[in-house]
Structure 1
Amino acid sequence: MHTIEELDDGRAVYLNGHRIKVADIPIFRKTLALNNQYYTLQKSHPDIHTYVENGHRYDIAYKVPRTVDDLRQKHQAYQEIAQANNGMLGRTPDFLATGMAVLAERSAFLGHNQYTNFGENAKHYAEWVKANDIFISHALQNPQLDRSKPINAIPSGYAGVHTIERRPDGIVVSGAKMVNTMAPIADDLLIFNPPELLLEKGDTSYGVAFATPLNTPGVKIICRKLLDHPGYTEDDYPLSNALDEIDAYIVFDHAFIPWNQVFVENDYEMSNRFFIETGIFGHTSHQDEVRGITKLEFATSLAIRVAHTLGLDHFLGVQEKLGRLTANLELIKGTITRSEDNGQLDEFGIYTPDLQALLAVRASLPGFFEEAMQVTQRLAAGSMVGVPGFGEFDGDNGSILEKALATSQADAKDRSKLLNLAFDLSSSGFGQRQLMYEYYHGGDPMRIRSKHYLDEDLSAGNTMLDQLLNH
């Protein structure tokens, strides 16, 4: 756990054209406090959030699952962490921590070169992260400059991160990654390439994977515009004035990475294999879908609360809309449970959740979340758009508003807080970023669906077809 001041460690963080100190930005302080719930829960609920191994206590995310019960315990811990921020922080420390657990056991295939052993580097790094409970952020998506061309055909040098110099003590890298969530408040940065946009033969220098502290010279964290609303309280903006997950554009400008922090280098084929074959993808997907269902339940509950408070929930058409939301929620909950129950032991004795089930969640949850937001928008509609600033309750018109905005279901202030929350999640910049995040942070749902049917086990269905067609 960090204090905000400890993050002013020389890291180059930029906001609105200026290099800043992380501790000087109020919304960064609030986000860090919510992120630190990961560490707080280890102390307040150790039976759920920690485990003992070789006499040492670790966060449960680092436990290598050997049984379905191990996955269920991790599920419960992920859920409690997500509930502390209503599912709005997608990259809390448990996300990559669970990937580190399996990386330590599955890294040998990464091989070696004349300078170093990549498999051992990854293993030792994962063990170090676990021992010190390091908060890792990651960046994998390459800037979308011209997807019609291979990355090596884009001359700017910023189409990805690539090696520009190889030395006996390490590599020097330059380039960029399009989006890195939570970078300003993390400890380390893990860089690799996405599996859905495969590198090609000419992309060799871009075939890298490595980890580095965020205060490494040459690493620049260029934050997007913040989504909070200075001058207003959390009564006006209950979510966007409470946290901002702080996406950033990451630039490497001749940054030196020692060999012991390098896991793939000068190998486009190994780079393409890294995310999937290390096991990081499958186990971080489990954490991510548990977090996602927490967020979907929050959005579903909000839509139902709005309908009740506005006196709309006795209309059959509204009930049908709300019933669709709760049905969607149950479908996702059941599919995550199925991923755990149908998991299998891999060749390393790691109990791995069923990836087909997790990908079904990832292909469906973004649309279900958007539907919940749209229902909230359409039910709250002008009511949420017309809510005065909360400061008006202390102004000249306060007594009037106390009467004018009150209903039999809620007094004026409680009704206004709820409608402000509805607006913040469904219609503000914060809410639209949350929607975009759900659609794309785990991969493009279109790509997921287009591949999902190819990997589905339809042996029973095909047997029935064959019996009917060939009798």
Structure 2
Amino acid sequence: MHTIEQLNDGRNVFLNGQRVNVADVPIFRKTLALNNRYYDLQKSNPAVHTYQENGRTYDIAFKVPRTVDDLRQKHQAYQEIAQSNYGMLGRTPDFLNTAMAVLAERSAFLGHNQYTDFGENAKHYAQWIKENDIFISHALQNPALDRTKAINAIPSGYAGVHVLERNDRGIVVSGAKMVNTMAPIADDLLVFNPPELLLEKGDTSYAVAFATPLNTPGIKVICRKLLDHPGYTEDDYPLSNALDEIDAYIVFDHAFIPWEKVFVENDVEMSNRFFIESGMFIHTSHQDEVRGITKLEFATSLAIRTAKLLGLDGFLGVQEKLGRLTDNLELIKGTISRSETEGHLDEFGIYTPSEQALLAVRSTLPEYFETAMKAAQHFSAGSAVGVPGWAEFSGENGPILERALATDRATAQERAKLLNLVFDLTTAGFGQRQLMYEYYHGGDPMRIRSMHYPHEDLTDGNAMLDRLLK
């Protein structure tokens, strides 16, 4: 855990055209405080959030799962961390820390070159993260400049991160990555390429994976516009004035990376294999979808409470819509549980959840989340749009509003606060960003589905067809 002041360590963070000190941005401070719940829970609930290894205590995210019970304990920890931020922070430390656990065990396939052993580098880095419980963010998505061309055919040099030169000390890189979530408040940055957009033979200089501190000279963190609302309270904007995941565009300008922090270099095949074969993808997917359950349950609960607040829950049509939301929630919960019980031991003795089950969740949960958001939005309708600013309750109109907006189901302020929450999640910029994030942070659902069905085990179904058609 670190304080916000410790992040004023020379890192180049830009916001609205200006270089800023991270500690000076109020929403960064609030987001870091929520992010640090990951560390707080290790102290307040160690039975769930920690484990013992060689006489030392570590966060449970770093535990290599050997049994289904190990996965279930990690599930509980992920869920409690997500509940502390309502499921709205998708890249808390447990996301990549669970990846470090398996990377340390599976890294040998990365091989070596004349300067260094990539497999040993990845293993040592993962162990260092574990020993120090470092908060790492990751940058994998290459800027979508022109998908019709190979990365090396885009002349700007910002279609990804590429190696400019190498020597016996390390490599020098330049280029860019997009949508790097939580970068301004992380300690380290893990850079690699996404598996779904494979590099081609001419992209060798872009075939790189490495880690580096965020304050490395030559790195710029260019934040998107913030989604909070200065001048308004958290009663007006309960979510967007409490947190922001702070997506950023990362630029590398002749940044030096020592060999001991390099895991792939000048190797297209290895770059394409890195995320999947390391085991990082499947284990971060497990953490991510457990967080997704939390977010879906939050949105489902909000829709149901809104219907009750406005006296809509007695109508059969509304009841059917609410039942569909709870159906969806149970289906997601059941599928994630199935991913755990239907897991398997890999060749390294790591208990690995079912990829087919997790991919089914990943491609479906965004639609369920959107359905819950739309239900809350439709139920609230003009009621949410017309909520007065919270300051009105303490002004001359306060007594009028207290009488005019109160019902037998809620006081005026209770009603206003819930409707403000509905607006913030379903209509304001914060909620729309959350919706986009759910659809695309884990890959395009269309692409996931197109790759899902060929790998489905339909042995029994095909046997029945063959018997009938024989």
TM-score by length of 2: 1.00
Q: Secondary structure at the match of 2:195?
A: coil
Equivalent residue letter for 2:224: R
Q: Quote the offset at 1:305 in angstroms.
A: 0.2
Q: Report 1:19-98 matches (<5 A).
A: 19-98=19-98
> What are the residue-to-residue correspondences of 1:199-238 with 2, within 5 Å?
199-238=199-238
Paired residue secondary structure (2:253): strand
Deviation per residue, 1:27-73 (Å, 9 max, x gap): 00000000000000000000000000000000000000000000000
The aligned amino acid for 1:385 is: V
Distance in 1 between residues matched to 2:61 and 2:172, nearest whole Å: 32
Distance in 1 (alpha carbons) for counterparts of 2:438 and 2:69: 28
Alignment partners' CA distance in 1, 2:194 and 2:262: 17
Question: Does the alignment pair 1:330 with 2:330?
Answer: yes
Instruction: Please report how far the alpha carbon of residue 167 of structure 1 lies from its aligned counterpart in structure 2 after TM superposition.
Output: 1.0
Q: Which amino acid aligns with 1:74?
A: K
Structure 1 CA distance for aligned equivalents of residues 63 and 178 of structure 2: 31
Q: Tell me how far apart the structure 2 counterparts of residues 442 and 146 of structure 1 sit (CA, whole Å).
A: 20
Indicate yes or no: 2:314 matched with 1:314: yes
Question: CA–CA distance in 1 between the matches of 2:3 and 2:171?
Answer: 32
Q: Aligned equivalents of 1:160 and 1:271: distance in 2? A: 13
Rounded Cα–Cα distance in structure 2 between residues aligned with 1:447 and 1:262: 30
Q: CA deviation at 1:178?
A: 1.1
The whole-number CA distance in structure 2 between the counterparts of 1:388 and 1:430 is 19
SS at match of 2:465: helix
Q: How does 1:44-443 map to 2 (within 5 A)?
A: 44-443=44-443
Runs of 4+ in 1 over 3 A off after TM superposition: none
Query: SS at the partner of 2:31?
Result: helix
Distance 1:468 1:192 in 2: 49
Counterparts of 1:232 and 1:18, CA distance in 2: 23
Offset at 1:179?
A: 1.1
Deviations 1:53-104, CA, capped at 9 Å, x for gaps? 0000000000000000000000000000000000000000000000000000
- Structure 1 vs Structure 2: percent identity of aligned residues? 81
Q: CA deviation at 1:396?
A: 1.1
* 2: CA distance, partners of 1:454 / 1:403: 61
Amino acid at match of 1:89: L
Structure-2 residue corresponding to 1:18: 18
What is residue 9 of structure 1 aligned with on the other side? 9
CA shift, 1:332, in A, is: 0.1
Whole-angstrom distance in 1 between the partners of 2:298 and 2:156: 43
TM-score, structure 1 as length reference = 1.00
Which residue type is aligned with residue 434 of structure 2?
Answer: Q
SS in 2 for 1:137: strand
Shift of 1:144: 0.5
Mapped to 1, the partners of 2:7 and 2:259 lie a distance apart of 25
Gaps of 5+ in 2: none
Name structure 1 gaps, 5 residues minimum: none
For residues 363 and 454 of structure 1, the distance between their equivalents in structure 2, rounded to whole angstroms, comes to 15
Q: CA RMSD in A?
A: 0.3
Query: What whole-Å deviation, never above 9, does each CA across 1:101-140 have from its counterpart, x for those lacking one?
Result: 0000000000000000000000000000000000000010
- Alignment partners' CA distance in 1, 2:115 and 2:374: 55
Quote the Cα distance in structure 2 between the aligned partners of 1:363 and 1:31: 27
CA distance in 2 between partners of 1:170 and 1:93 (Å)? 27
